[in-house]
Amino acid sequence: AQTVTQSQPEMSVQEAETVTLSCTYDTSESDYYLFWYKQPPSRQMILVIRQEAYKQQNATENRFSVNFQKAAKSFSLKISDSQLGDAAMYFCAYIFTSGTYKYIFGTGTRLKVLA
Amino acid sequence: DGGITQSPKYLFRKEGQNVTLSCEQNLNHDAMYWYRQDPGQGLRLIYYSQIVNDFQKGDIAEGYSVSREKKESFPLTVTSAQKNPTAFYLCASSTRDRVAADTQYFGPGTRLTVL
């Protein structure tokens, strides 16, 4: 069964510092996509970054980057120069490209940014 | 602007009543999804639809029903059989276009409270 595990229920980071959120997944598929979503207090889910499994290069979006380790089935999110607006729940998600198009979400990591 | 709308934002229901949550998208996406989110929890899949006139049960479908008569609409009915319906409900949609990497886009959510 496909599963996504976020082992850190809560993390804190000082403003302007760097933080890494962990995500591991379990799958027997070879072609899939991985995502990080942010859910601020407004509860609107916002896409942060996505990664195609067939691409070896790690995705980057401004201050957000991932460390994708396919063999280890690991997909961590690094936030550089943390800002107060980064405080939110962060969800890791997975979908494989064939089959039912059902997304699998982790349980989330609450990120606190300290001024 | 393309996007997903959910209405109402807040909904109050008396015990024993059925209520319907609206979800509309103008992104021309084939797939649509309903999730339930409880306080401090992740997303749990209720129902999803990959094409018009077809839908599948998710992990917690009991007490819910859906229809998909139009590509842009995927309403969710919370029936009186749902024992604990108070929660935040999120609707999402996605394309099956590899270029778009199957990114899932979310509506702003509906907060349902049973009185």
Q: What's the mean per-residue pLDDT of chain B? A: 91
B63 to chain A, any CB pair closer than 8 A? The answer is no
Is B99 part of the contact surface with chain A (CB cutoff 8 Å)? no
Q: What angle do CA B89, B90, B91 make, to 5 degrees?
A: 125
CB-based contact A95 B106, cutoff 8 Å = no
pLDDT above 90 as % of chain A: 76
> Residue B49: which residues within 8 A CB-CB, separation 6 or more?
B31, B32, B33, B55, B56, B66, B68, B74
pLDDT of residue A23: 97
**Which two tokens mark A92?**
């890791």
With beta carbons under 8 A apart, name residues in chain B contacting A42.
108
Shortest Cα distance, chain B CAs vs residue A54, angstroms: 11
Q: What is the mean pLDDT of residues A23-42?
A: 91
For range B29-45, the mean pLDDT = 90
With a cut of 80, say whether residue A1 has pLDDT above it: no
pLDDT given for residue B42 in this prediction:
85
| pLDDT attached to residue A99 | 64
Other beta carbons less than 10 A from residue B73's beta carbon: 14
Is residue A24 within 8 Å of residue A5, measured between CB atoms? yes
CB contact under 8 A, B58 and A102: yes
pLDDT above 70 for B98: no
CA-nearest of A77, A56, A57, A54 to A66 is A77
Q: Is residue B4 scored above 90 in pLDDT?
A: yes
Q: Which amino acid is at A11?
A: M
Residue with tokens 């199957």: B102
Q: What is the mean pLDDT of residues A70-88?
A: 96
**Is B94 near chain A, with CB under 8 Å?**
yes
Ordered DSSP codes for B32-77: EEEEEE-TT--EEEEEEEEETTEEEE-TT-TTEEE--SBTTB--EE
More confident residue, A22 or B100: A22
Chain A residues close to B43, C-beta within 8 Å: 91, 105
In angstroms, the Cα distances linking B68 to A52, B24, B54, B76, B91 are 29, 11, 7, 10, 13
d(CA A91, CA A26) in angstroms, rounded, equals 16
> How far is it, in rounded angstroms, from Cα B4 to Cα B106?
7
Lookup result for tokens 């996504």 = A4
User: Distance (Å, rounded) from C-alpha A115 to C-alpha A87?
Assistant: 11
Q: How confident is the model at residue A95 (pLDDT cuts 50, 70, 90)?
A: confident
pLDDT in tens, B99-114: 666 788 999 999 999 9
- Of all residues in chain B, the one with the smallest CA distance to A91 is B42
A39-54 mean pLDDT? 92
B3 at A interface, C-beta within 8 A: no
Between B8 and A28, residue with greater pLDDT: B8
Can you tell me the mean pLDDT for A20-29?
93
Q: What is the pLDDT of residue A97?
A: 67
CA-angle at B105, arms to A82 and B54, nearest 5°: 155
Give the closest-approach CA distance of B92 to chain A in angstroms. 9
Q: Is residue A72 less than 8 Å (CB to CB) from chain B?
A: no
- Of the candidates B43, B96, B103, the beta carbon closest to that of A105 is on B43
Nearest to A44 among B50, B102, B108 (CB): B108
Contacts of B14 (CB under 8 A, 6+ apart): B114, B115
* pLDDT > 70 fraction of chain A, expressed in percent and rounded: 95
Residue that is written with structure tokens 């393309």 in the block: B2
A99-112 pLDDT per residue, tens: 666 788 999 999 99
B101 vs A37, A52, A91: nearest CB: A52
Task: Provide the pLDDT for residue A49.
Answer: 95
* Per-residue pLDDT tens over the stretch A50-71: 998 888 889 999 999 999 999 9
Contact B111, B88 (CB under 8 A): yes
